[in-house]
Structure 1
């Protein structure tokens, strides 16, 4: 799977330079020119690494990383800064940053640090299997709580079992029969039960249950769980 990097910097030349260097490494690069636009992207999409400038016009990088950590977004953050003071580096790490590099920097050093953070995070996730993620939804596998933008969504045990199965098998269409076998452990399908649970889950996780973003109907086939970008 291609690594996804979000570059946040209000300097267009930096954004262009970093896009080019990482795309040469076959990485998928998204750029943001402000903290506000970056937060909007992070609330909708999953990235493997955030490269974040400290000084920006609308809000500084310290505020951005503090805010996303409070929202439950734990993507590794590599700070870029022209500030050489030790206190600035300490603050960056204290607020939730993972590494820090000062400008001007060599692209070789930047890519080395970036790849190390991506690799370390993937290794950690493989070992801990901490959570299942789809867009704004995060299902913790340690305490089995579902959160949307950091806010917990209360689920019954069967709703939890159903959404866990769907999040483990994102982008796959399942018939009602398949859902009943895998979640209810029963081969005798009750269509009404499936419909009731789908409505309950949509009411809890969707901004607009009548036009679901995540739990969608595959007409004539069944259901599919995915992050539908609108």
Structure 2
């Protein structure tokens, strides 16, 4: 079985070495970059199972790196690892399409477990089933989604959220249930699901201010509905 391959992007050599030591013990390989520009050049030439990305770097911050990746069609899962702990930064990072946001200082073994969980979630689809709901189609093997035949360009978490909604059409879920279903863990931030629903609505609704498909059920949560 091929080893998982990780790109570590951080301008702090000590952080990179700490992560590398843990990955060596977990039988994973890695490549290092000390800045955003170098990381983007590496990503043009190599494929990775996960990118671990710092935010505060001299040449380009991590938010810019992730935005550039997604603009260029690179959907490699991304985990932010940052000393920036404000809600604003966490919400922004997740909203840009990161799969997780971990704050420093971190526990190396826990970090490794979280990394493996992200990789596992993104590799678990092996057979193709096409889900259909109203104007939407979702291929569970390619993880590509379409509306009226046009491909939707969604982040990893937006993709998981749309799939979950399509598999559970007209069922109502509160924020905690959605978070547990998509992240497979307990809620870490009350705003996280709302951020992803906001971004997903912007991409699939004709009028996001009056959502037709992802409906708010006041006092209960959200449901996905197609006529």
Specify if TM > 0.5. Answer: yes
Q: Which residue of 2 is the match for residue 15 of structure 1?
A: 16
Q: Which residue of 2 is the match for residue 72 of structure 1?
A: 73
TM-superposed deviation, 1:125: 6.5
Equivalent residues, number = 136
Q: Distance in 1 between matches of 2:104 and 2:127?
A: 33
Tell me which stretches of 4 or more aligned residues in structure 1 moved more than 2 Å: 124-129, 140-143
- Cα distance 1:106–1:11, how it changes in 2: closer, same or farther (>3 A)? same
Q: Distance in 1 between matches of 2:42 and 2:22?
A: 21
SS of equivalent residue, structure 1 residue 58: coil
TM-superposed deviation, 1:108: 2.0
Q: Report which of the two structures shows the higher radius of gyration computed on alpha carbons.
A: 1
- Cα distance 1:90–1:125, how it changes in 2: closer, same or farther (>3 A)? farther
TM-superposed deviation, 1:123: 1.2
1:7 touches 1:15 (CA, 8 Å); kept in 2? yes
Q: Distance in 2 between matches of 1:14 and 1:45?
A: 22
TM-score (norm 2): 0.56
2:18 touches 2:108 (CA, 8 Å); kept in 1? no
Describe the superposition over 1:195-228 as per-residue Cα deviations: whole angstroms up to 9, x where unpaired. Answer: xxxxxxxxxxxxxxxxxxxxxxxxxxxxxxxxxx
Q: Distance in 2 between matches of 1:44 and 1:124?
A: 25
Q: Which residue of 1 is the match for residue 112 of structure 2?
A: 111
Describe the superposition over 1:150-193 as per-residue Cα deviations: whole angstroms up to 9, x where unpaired. Answer: xxxxxxxxxxxxxxxxxxxxxxxxxxxxxxxxxxxxxxxxxxxx
Q: Distance in 1 between matches of 2:126 and 2:35?
A: 29
1:129 touches 1:141 (CA, 8 Å); kept in 2? no
Tell me the C-alpha RMSD between the 2 structures. 2.1
TM-superposed deviation, 1:126: 5.7
Corresponding residue to 2:142 among 130, 146, 165: 130
Unaligned runs of 5+ in 1: 132-139, 146-230
TM-score (norm 1): 0.55
